[in-house]
A and B are shown apart, each in its own frame.
Chain A
Amino acid sequence: MSRAFLAILSRDLTVAARAGGGGELALVFFLTITVLVPFALGPDLNLLSRIGPAILWLGALLSVLIGLDRLFQSDEEDGSLDLIRASALPLELAVLAKGLAHWLTTGLPLALASPLLGLLVALPGEGVLPLIATLLVGTPALSFIGAAGAALAAGLRRGGLIVPVLVAPLTVPVLIFGVSAANAALGGTVPFLTPFLILCAISLAAIVVGTIAAAAALRQAD
């Protein structure tokens, strides 16, 4: 059981590393959005540092969303999804492996790159570690809510735009508590830990609900 789980995980990581187009693309998109914001708002460093955590969170959210439609679609196209469905491994665990691989190649690099992008929006030094922490615990929620949306659109020829449209409204709580935790660390009335723990809870719940929903959607797809 765990061998099949690890096999799917390592396969997805290998595919992401060799075929490209997954994690790196999300990182480049993250950078692009962060660069665009100062052009829209004007290069006022005080303003940018005040809304920096929000910009970075929004950029990370959008970067996770853009690649989501490929999460199951490529497997559906080359037939490996049928093999996964037919295997002894429960589909939920297969989805968990794929979601985990998606997070490791998308969410984790985004979180690790955030301090660098923080420089661009003049993020104060004491805000850097909390921002990484919120992105680390918050992005799994995005990957798994996204997995449910991606599973619904697996096998769709013209599903490219629909996945973000389906997924984005469901990510609102993640965005709210992620940004409010990151802001709380920069001073404010709320202590950092309160929104941070809620964010952790949302992530854990999303891993469970997203996995079950995505597996159910994949079962219906054939």
Chain B
Amino acid sequence: MPSWKDHIPSIGTLGPFLALLLACGFFSFQSEQFLTGANFSLILQQIMVVGLIAIGQTLIILTAGIDLSCGMVMALGGVVMTKVANDYGLHPIVAISIGLAVTAGFGLLNGLLVTRIKLPPFIVTLGTMNIAFAITQLYSGSQTITDLPAAMTFFGNTFGIGQTQVAYGTVLMLACYALSWIWLRETAQGRHIYAVGNNPEATRLTGIATHRVILMVYVLAGLCYGVASLLSVARTGVGDPNAGQTENLDAITAVVLGGTSLFGGRGVIIGSLIGAMIVGVFRNGLTLMGVSSVYQILITGILVILAVATDQLSRKGGR
């Protein structure tokens, strides 16, 4: 159960939020189009895929693991759900479910290799990243899948709140964050994830089945990537076998910028959303200013180092 300490925001949780505010403040001075509802809605749409991948990635990093396969698994899910829908004329909901099952299956595979054969997550997911990429290319014949049923791209549609058009996908992403936040904070299962990341041996000795917790985390992460596939398909309107190439590092960047410790056991899931937003805000803001996106890469690099340094220093300071 959460203790009173959890209610005091630490530098790890406030830092990312301050960085986001500063970035927003800077860009609103630079471009008159920046500080509008429509633009913020747009940024949220642009980060929804990485945002959802980052939920799964956060869970895994909380257990002191890492998942390099996330982007490729996401691309595979997108290709599977669009191709089975087009080739067999399946109902979109059935096709999407098959896609989710495939990504969750990859999560299961990752989890089994990590818990049963005790391979390091970095190596396991480096392998499955390539496997997922190859299967995606083979299954799609490296061809983009077009002419999708309208229901498959539903989450790319928008509805109006006042003057602002908001995508259904944004709502789905925010709902997933809210759900996982409550789950991590308020349930025993959620607290076990933190415990496993902090000290697996001590956790095991208290009678918690640590392997089962880790396996569950990988499967859940796989499911998150499946939902991300759906959002990616909805956003671009196609099943793209070349999607996901940069999303693994983007998601890890979002998690790290959001203050989750790469050493496991510490972090707040909402931080990952803020981390993804920081990257999205820079990309959007610099484009509005007409500045090369190389600066976005530069700034992101600096922020990642700062975030990890903050984590490390606060650990040394004792807690």
- A, B bound: no
